Amino acid sequence: MEQASALDDIQALIVQLRDEFQVKHAVYHWLSADGEQYGFGTYDPIWVQRYTENDYMRIDPVVIGSFQRFHPVDWRELDWSSRAVQAFRKDSIKHGVGTQGFSFPIRGPNGQLSLLSTSDSTDDASWDDFTKSNQREWIVIAHCLNRKTLELVGCQNPETMRQLSPREIEALTYLGMGHVRAQVAELLNISEHTLRAYIESARFKLGASNTTHAVARAVAEGLIVLGGTARPTRSRLPLAPLRSV
């Protein structure tokens, strides 16, 4: 990994990672706060294209769940209950993603979030044994891989970010949980005009292009935490085509 000198080398590393641990797939996904993405992995290119064309990122419990957490994510712990998500899961399994999965979210500078994920098709007991035996090593690999990728894309120096006020944090938290502005204003006992001022101020501090971007960046920076009451379809992330997978 330390010898990698270009982003194309990351793809070869991911393939080696999959083969070394004898899993079905390994994927590294890098998202910046301004919507730039890099993807490297072993999924079928047909699935990658389908994932992008169907805008699956907006409902993918793995991406949404990882944005809400700071610790490794076993896919079985995520919310797969909605009809849209169940259809997405069925489609992913059909295209060979696997029935089990584990993701390691890593946060970097300027709102950057990366995910190192592995997936396989096996029973629960076997998957429990795999994750118990290898979780610590994958955490280390995820951090090292993210550091190397940041180095290659020139994003190691974080920008100074102004702190949000308590009201700005509350406003973005409620919006991230799926409430519309009228509901948020009522919950905070303020007018919608005042709420708009808080949102615009938070956007300015976060360098966000819109409210959705502000929520995503606040979550990625750890400024707000969205709990289990969040609605997956509202946790929208900045999108751009994957550079390479």
Domains of the chain and CATH, by start = 7-153 (3.30.450.80), 166-220 (1.10.10.10)
pLDDT of residue 217: 79
- CA distances, 118 to each of 39, 103, 155 (Å): 14, 7, 25
pLDDT of residue 235: 33
**111 CB neighbour count, 10 Å cutoff:** 25
**15 CB neighbour count, 10 Å cutoff:** 14
Q: Which of 40, 78, 44, 48 is nearest to 61 (CA)?
A: 78
Q: 39 pairs with which residues across the strands? A: 29
Q: Residues 152-209: pLDDT tens digits? A: 877 544 455 568 899 999 999 999 888 899 999 999 999 999 999 999 989 888 877 7
- Strand order, beta sheet including 100-107: 37-41, 25-31, 113-120, 100-107, 73-74
pLDDT of residue 227: 56
Q: Give the ranges where the chain is alpha helix by DSSP (H).
A: 7-21, 45-53, 61-67, 83-94, 124-153, 166-176, 181-188, 192-206, 211-220
Mean pLDDT computed over every residue of the chain: 83
Percent of the chain residues topping a pLDDT of 70 = 85
The torsion of the CA quartet 151, 242, 105, 62, rounded to 10 degrees, works out to 180
17, HSE (Cβ side, Cα atoms, 13 Å): 27
Question: Which of the four pLDDT bands, split at 50, 70 and 90, describes residue 238?
Answer: very low
CA 74 to CA 161: how far, in whole Å? Answer: 31
Q: Angle at Cα 224 formed by Cα 78 and Cα 175, nearest 5°?
A: 80
CA 211 to CA 202: how far, in whole Å? Answer: 9
136, HSE (Cβ side, Cα atoms, 13 Å): 2
CA 197 to CA 115: how far, in whole Å? Answer: 33
Answer yes or no: are the C-beta atoms of 2 and 10 closer than 8 Å.
Answer: no
Question: Which of the four pLDDT bands, split at 50, 70 and 90, describes residue 236?
Answer: very low
pLDDT of residue 74: 96
Would you call 176 helix, strand, or coil by DSSP?
Answer: helix
CA 153 to CA 12: how far, in whole Å? Answer: 17
Q: Which of 234, 229, 52, 21 is nearest to 127 (CA)?
A: 21
